[in-house]
Structure 1
Amino acid sequence: MRKCSLWTFLPPMFSIFTTTGLWVVYFIAVEDGKITPLSSEYSRKNGSKPPPPPYISIAGNAPPASCIFSQVTNLAAFVGFIIGVLRYLQLKNRVQKPWLNISSLVALSLACFGLTLVGNFQLANDEKLHNIGTSMTFGLGTLFCWVQSVITLKVNLRNEGRKASIPRFLLSASITLCMLLHFSLMTQRLHMHAARSQWALVMFFLSFFGTFAVEFRHFHFEIVCTDNREPPLSLSETFS
C-alpha cells in the first residue's frame, strides 16, 4: 500500500488550528462581555445597551482577545500563502492555461496580505485599513476558491479532479452566498444575522483549504540546496 505524503496533513491542520484560534478569540470576547453570544438575540433589555454583535473583527478588537486574534491571523496568512505556493508548483506543468494558475496565486497572496491588515489594524484603531483588509481577504479569497475549483476540474489530477471539484464548487458557492448575505444583512442593520453569516463564511473558507489534502497526499515538495563550487563572483560582476 502506497504511503501518503506528509504534506497531506498541512491543509487540514491549517484549517483546524485557525478555526480553533478564532473560536478561542470569540469565547474570550464573550466571557469579557465585549460581544453578544451568537446564540443570543441582539436587543435591549431593561433599557440597557447590550454588547456589540459578534462580528469577528469586534471579537478581536480589544485585549486580551485582540492579541490572540493578531497571532492567529498572521500565522493563518503565512501558512495560507505557503499552501498557495505549493499548490501553484503542483499545477505549474499541468495547467494548459498558465494564467489561471498565476492569477490564483496572485489572488491568494493579496488575500493573505489583506488578512494581515485585518489582524494588525484592529477596527477601533484604524477602521479604514481594517475594512480594506477585510475586502481584500473576502473578495480575493472568493476569487481564489472559484479559480481553484475550475482548475481542479480541468486538470483532473490522478483522475480525482472531478470528485474533488464537487465539494470545492459547493464550498465556493456557499462562500459567495454567505458573503452576499452578510453585506445584505448589514445594510438592513440585521447585525446578529450578519455576524452569523460572517462566521459561516470564514468556516467555509477554512474548509475549502482543508480539501487540498486530497492532492497533497500524492506529492512530495523538497527544498534543494546545492554547493556552488565555482569561485564566487566579485561585487562588480554580481551587479553587472
Structure 2
Amino acid sequence: MWWFQQGLSILPSALVVWSSASFVFSYVTAVLLHHVDPLVPYISDTGTTPPERCLFGIMLNIAALLGVATMYVRYKQVGTLNPEEPKILRLNKAGFVLGIISCFGLCIIANFQKSTLFSMHVIGACLTFGIGAIYILVQTIISYKMQPGIHGKGIFWIRLTVLLWCASSIASMFISSVILNSGLFGMGLIQKLHWDPQENGYTFHIMSTASEWSLAFSFLSFFLTYIRDFQKISLRTEVLLHGHNLYYMHQQLQADDQEMPITGSI
C-alpha cells in the first residue's frame, strides 16, 4: 500500500498537488502566451486573461472544496481525540470556522479576477491569506496542547516553523505592496502585467510578488503536515436494507398507502 493510500491521507495530498497544479499550469500558460512576465508575476495575474483565466478559476474552486473536506476531517479528528478538553474543543471549532471562511475567500479569488472586479478580488485575497494565517495559528496552538500525549513534539515545531514562514511572507508582501501603491512610483501599479526592470518601483514589485508566492507555498506546506495524522483515519460506509429486497420494500410501501384511511370533504 502506497503512503497516500493509507487512511485519508489522500485528502491533504490531493489538496497540495491540485493547488500547486492550479498555480503552475496557469503560470506556464500565461507565460507561453506572453500575458505576463516570466519573472515572478502575481499569482492572480496568471489567471487574469483568457484562456488561463478559465483554467485558474475552475481549478481553484475544486481546491476550495478539497480544502473544506480536509479541514472538516481535521476538525472531527481533533474533537475525537480530545473529547474531555474544553479549551482544545473551542479552539478546534474556531479553527474550523476560520478554515471555511478562508476557503470561501479562495472561491472569491477564483470567480472575481483582478481584471473583472478588483475590490472583490482583494477581499477574497484578504480572507484567504489573512484568515488562513489565523487558521494556521490556531492549529499550531492545538498541536502544542496535544503534545506529547497524542503526537510528538516534532510536528509542533514543524507547524510553528511554517507559521513563522507564513507570517514573514505576509509582512513582506504587506510592506512592499503599501510602498508600491503609495503613489511614489505612479498609480495603478498593482494591476500592471508587464514591467521593465529599469522602471521605478520594480524592486518593490518583485518583493511583493515573491512574497505572495512564498505565502501560497507556506500554506501548502502546512497541509503537508496533515498527511501523517490522516493516515490514522479510515472512512467506512454502512448500507441498511429494510426488507428482503428492493421490490419487497416497494410492494410494502404500496400496501401501506392502500391501507391508510382517507378523510376529508369537498
Tell me, yes or no, if the aligned pair for 1:157 and 1:215 is still in contact at 8 Å: no
Secondary structure at the counterpart of residue 8 of structure 2: helix
What amino acid is the match of 1:67?
C
Call closer, same or farther: CA 1:28–1:37 in 2, change over 3 Å: same
Tell me, yes or no, if the aligned pair for 2:98 and 2:131 is still in contact at 8 Å: yes
In structure 1, the residue matched to 2:135 is 144
In structure 1, the residue matched to 2:112 is 121
Q: CA deviation at 1:158?
A: 6.6
Tell me how large the CA RMSD over aligned residues is: 2.3
In structure 2, the residue matched to 1:80 is 67
Is 1:31 the equivalent of 2:32?
yes
Which runs of structure 1 show a deviation greater than 2 angstroms over 4 or more consecutive aligned residues?
Answer: 3-6, 156-161, 221-229
Q: CA deviation at 1:208?
A: 0.6
What amino acid is the match of 1:93?
T
Structure 2 Cα separation of the partners of residues 37 and 188 of structure 1: 23
Q: CA deviation at 1:57?
A: 1.1
Is 1:208 the equivalent of 2:222?
yes
Count the aligned residue pairs.
217
Tell me, yes or no, if the aligned pair for 1:181 and 1:197 is still in contact at 8 Å: yes
Deviations 1:80-138 (A, max 9, x none): 00000000110113331211000000000000001000001111111111111110000
- Residue of 79, 95, 112 corresponding to 1:92: 79
Q: Matches of residues 79-228 of structure 1 in structure 2 within 5 Å?
A: 79-95=66-82, 96=85, 97=87, 98-156=89-147, 159-189=150-180, 190-226=204-240
In structure 2, the residue matched to 1:22 is 23
Tell me, yes or no, if the aligned pair for 1:171 and 1:204 is still in contact at 8 Å: yes
* Superposition TM-score, scaled by structure 2 size: 0.75
Tell me, yes or no, if the aligned pair for 2:172 and 2:207 is still in contact at 8 Å: no
Structure 1 Cα separation of the partners of residues 231 and 237 of structure 2: 18
Deviations 1:203-228 (A, max 9, x none): 11011111101111112133445457
Structure 1 Cα separation of the partners of residues 91 and 77 of structure 2: 13
Q: Percent identity?
A: 27
Secondary structure at the counterpart of residue 123 of structure 1: coil
Q: CA deviation at 1:6?
A: 3.4
Structure 1 Cα separation of the partners of residues 148 and 159 of structure 2: 15
Q: CA deviation at 1:9?
A: 2.8
Any unmatched runs of 5+ in structure 2?
181-203, 244-251, 254-266
Q: CA deviation at 1:153?
A: 2.1
